[in-house]
């Protein structure tokens, strides 16, 4: 990312970004919510974006990585989006409804969880990796499995990773291969002596989820995916205060 001053004393940034939301504004403008590589989440006004092919070229679409020129003015809460072009196009991803649903769910987690104007490099890396895997996934790679792996990585990147190795209350380790009770609101396993929890993980699932949390790919089996995604989704909802 490069940063420079314009004549009007506005700061100008060139950065990569992902589109999280777009809202029509006036006759031809857009207000866009972006997750940028260097600045984190921000909102920007794209004047004439619904008409200008020269400055935006139809690039303001989700799933693709964009290269943007932004200006920040001290008198405005919104950045000004001056130019946008495709940096990484993901044409295979957007041709599959299943892949788009998985990517859209991850983008939704990031949109809700990211603080404004706060760089989140680990979140960017986890999200970019997921989109890349969904773009290049073969026919036999379930998109929801990719999403479950990415969801665990995103939780960890936001500082909300689930501790699946020991009780979060007393610190007692859980033996390898043993089933355990997990409470997402408390951040991981809770042994029976510390009150336990309603959700239970089998020893096999817990082990594979630990490996996925550590960054291993393709370790979750098809029967794991629903349970893993449910835990990830409930963890995000708990931390974001969504009932």
pLDDT digits (tens, 9 = 90+) for 128-160: 999 999 999 765 679 999 999 999 999 999 999
**Interval 210-236: pLDDT, tens:** 999 988 888 999 999 999 999 999 999
Question: Does residue 34 share a domain with residue 137?
Answer: no
Q: Residue 44 sits in a domain of what CATH number?
A: 2.40.50.140
Is the Cβ–Cβ distance between 118 and 40 less than 8 Å?
yes
**Interval 53-103: pLDDT, tens:** 667 766 788 999 999 999 998 888 899 999 999 999 999 999 999 999 999
**Interval 233-242: pLDDT, tens:** 999 999 999 8
Does the pLDDT of residue 182 top 90, yes or no?
Answer: yes
Question: Does residue 194 share a domain with residue 98?
Answer: yes
Question: Does residue 107 share a domain with residue 70?
Answer: no
**Interval 106-136: pLDDT, tens:** 999 999 999 999 999 999 999 999 999 999 9
Name the token pair of 159.
């500082």
Examine the fold and report which residue of 88, 119, 143 is the final residue of a domain before the chain moves on: 88
Question: Does residue 104 share a domain with residue 38?
Answer: no
Q: Residue 142 sits in a domain of what CATH number?
A: 1.20.1440.120
Q: How confident is the model at residue 41 (pLDDT cuts 50, 70, 90)?
A: very high
Q: What is the pTM of this model?
A: 0.90
How many separate domains does the chain show? 2
**Interval 1-31: pLDDT, tens:** 655 555 557 899 999 999 999 998 888 889 9
Length of the chain counted residue by residue: 243
- The pLDDT assigned to 75 comes to 84
- The pLDDT assigned to 58 comes to 67
Does the pLDDT of residue 43 top 60, yes or no?
Answer: yes
Residue 21 has a CB neighbour count (10 Å cut-off) of: 14
Domain range spanning residue 56? 2-88
Examine the fold and report which residue of 71, 88, 105 is the final residue of a domain before the chain moves on: 88
Examine the fold and report which residue of 57, 88, 119 is the final residue of a domain before the chain moves on: 88
Q: How confident is the model at residue 50 (pLDDT cuts 50, 70, 90)?
A: confident
Average pLDDT in the 166-191 region? Answer: 96
Question: Does residue 234 share a domain with residue 174?
Answer: yes
Nearest Cα neighbor of 197 from 184, 209, 210 is 184
Question: Does residue 230 share a domain with residue 206?
Answer: yes
């Amino acid at each position: 990312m490069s940063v420079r001053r314009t004549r009007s004393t506005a700061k100008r940034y060139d950065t990569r970004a992902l589109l999280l939301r777009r809202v029509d504004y006036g006759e031809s403008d857009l207000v866009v919510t972006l997750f940028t590589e260097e600045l984190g989440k921000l909102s920007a006004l794209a004047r004439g974006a619904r008409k200008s092919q020269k400055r935006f070229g139809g690039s303001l679409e989700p799933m693709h990585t964009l290269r943007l020129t932004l200006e920040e003015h001290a008198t405005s809460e919104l950045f000004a989006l001056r130019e946008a072009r495709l940096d990484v196009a993901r044409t295979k991803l957007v041709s599959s409804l299943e892949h788009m649903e998985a990517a859209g769910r991850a983008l939704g987690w990031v949109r809700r969880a990211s603080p404004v104007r706060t760089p989140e490099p680990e979140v960017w890396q986890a999200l970019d990796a997921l989109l890349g895997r969904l773009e290049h996934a073969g026919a036999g790679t379930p998109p929801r499995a990719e999403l479950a792996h990415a969801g665990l990585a995103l939780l960890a990147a936001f500082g909300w990773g689930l501790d699946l190795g020991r009780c979060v209350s007393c610190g007692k380790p859980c033996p390898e291969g043993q089933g355990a009770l997990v409470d997402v609101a408390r951040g991981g396993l809770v042994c029976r002596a510390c009150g336990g929890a309603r959700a239970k993980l089998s020893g096999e699932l817990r082990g594979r989820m630990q490996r996925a949390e550590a960054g291993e790919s393709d370790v979750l089996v098809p029967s794991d995916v629903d349970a893993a995604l449910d835990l990830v989704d409930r963890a995000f909802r708990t931390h974001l205060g969504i009932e």
